Amino acid sequence: MAQADSNRRQSWVRGSTLGVAILLGAVLLGMVNYLGGKYYTRGDWTSSGLYTLSEKSENLLSRLQQPIEFIVFLSPDNPLYRPTQELLERYAAASQEVTVREIDPVRDLVQAQKLVDQYQVDRQNVVVVASGNDRRVIDASDLAEWDFSGMQQGLPEKLKGFRGEQAFSGAILELTEATKPTLAFTTGHGERGIDDSSPEGLSELKRLLGADNFSLESWAPLTQPDVPKAASLVVVAGPKVAFLPSELEALDRYLDRGGRVLLLLDPQLAEGANPDLGMASWLEKHSIRLGDDIVVDPDRAILFSGLETFSVDSYGTHPVTDSFRQAGVPVLWSLARSVTPETGDQAVAGDEATTLLRTSSSGFGETNLAALPDFGQDDADTPGPVSLAVAVEGPVAQAAQAATGSEKPETPADDAQADLAGSDGASLDAGNPDAAKPAGDAADAANMDDGEAASDADHW
């Protein structure tokens, strides 16, 4: 009898322990589920960070003050459906103003017809971005870049790159900004052209900045004596022929009324070329010294490239370069010349000059250009660390401050800005030059407040 009671007690204890364990497990599972739903983070495990929003998009979404709806009109079997869905979930998580609605054009016939009637959509495989009564329709073909190289072997096309973020953020900008910032690119001096689709051209830059709601236009200072009034920024991209004094005077008038100028100047290596492009004296008036040299950095040279191709990760303290410095992102430079801010008695009163990027201490500016491609440092060379890009902010002329609104740039500044990079060919991510994206230099320069502009030092 005693043995039977003992067995019953042991059985009861085992059963009670098991019951408590199951109960605790259920409680823990419930707590994990609750906490996971209330406090969660999203991860991007793709090697390229395919679904990670850029800082630019995050800032854009954080400033949204009006509802934005994305209507995904894609079939689930479309290869772009999943990356589009995942990316838009990131947008919705980043802003309460963003909502996402999906319509299957094959199965949701009623909803599909409503979409066609409401937004005049005449095709499938699009994403509609809507705000109020306005909307933008993005074709699926604009969301991706495809690799068709295997089709001759009977292989299907491969997704080479997903451009959804560029398209979606660009559409939001178009819907939320009242005006488009205008960038005026100078012509007539052998500059890179915004409609030139060759490897030296800037047509891809124009396309990408257009997606970010920027308008790019050409300006010929020799025949148009004044900078277009709508210009938020003037860009001089890789000239090969010297500017005339009258053309530089036009830039001065623009700066005097609060304009911004971005100069991207290459070393002049051709025999008989004007090394300073007619700008040396003019730049000195803006506290900038342009070197007649070509910069190398032996300690940071890129493997299998010449000394003139090197990485830079030394940034000055400036809003333009703060995010690069904090992220530790290197920049790849090739065929650069030195650009140095004037200091002390050489600086113009009221100008504030900042070095944006510089080489390591092993870098130097080779002044004996006739001896290239042989580089050998001597006393005549520019010693390192060598400044590669400079931002200068100066006071606006009193006459400009009193001018009427029609005489000012579309986005006037309290300070004029002249900014100079010693090359028109810098790239992000020195470890992977192929990862470089087209430039944000001009875009960020046009958007900087209080006249702050200059090179984002990235990716042309």
Question: What is the structure's pLDDT at 133?
Answer: 84
Q: What is the pLDDT along the chain (460 residues), one digit of tens a residue?
A: 555 555 555 554 455 554 545 555 555 555 545 444 444 444 444 444 445 788 889 999 999 999 999 999 998 888 899 999 999 999 999 999 999 999 998 888 898 888 888 887 877 889 999 998 888 888 888 888 877 776 667 677 777 788 899 899 989 988 888 777 899 999 999 999 999 999 889 998 888 788 777 889 999 999 999 999 999 999 999 999 999 999 999 999 999 988 999 999 998 887 777 788 989 889 999 999 999 999 999 999 998 888 889 999 999 999 888 888 888 889 899 889 999 998 877 778 778 889 999 999 999 999 888 778 888 888 888 998 999 999 998 776 543 333 333 344 554 455 666 666 766 655 433 333 333 333 344 555 554 433 333 333 332 2
Residue 339 lies in a domain: yes
Please choose, from the candidates 444, 355, 443, 435, the residue with its C-alpha nearest in 3D space to the C-alpha of residue 50: 435
- Same domain as 212, residue 323: yes
- Same domain as 397, residue 262: yes
Q: What is the DSSP string of 344-407?
A: GGGSPTT-EEEEEEE--TT-EEE--GGGTT-----TTSBPSSPEEEEEEEEEPPHHHHTS-GGG
Question: What is the structure's pLDDT at 458?
Answer: 30
Question: What is the structure's pLDDT at 195?
Answer: 94
Domain encompassing residue 126: 55-175
Cis peptide before 385 (omega within 30 of 0): yes
CATH code where residue 94 lies: 3.40.30.10
Residue 19 lies in a domain: no
DSSP state for residue 437 in the 8-state scheme: -
Place of tokens 């322990």: 17
CATH code where residue 209 lies: 3.40.50
Residue 30 lies in a domain: no
CA–chain centroid gap for 382, Å, is: 31
Which pTM does this prediction carry? 0.65
- Same domain as 302, residue 184: yes
The total of structural domains in the chain comes to 2
Query: Which of 175, 207, 228 is the last residue in one of the domains?
Result: 175
- Same domain as 414, residue 290: yes
How many CA atoms lie less than 13 Å away from 170 in the CB half-sphere?
21
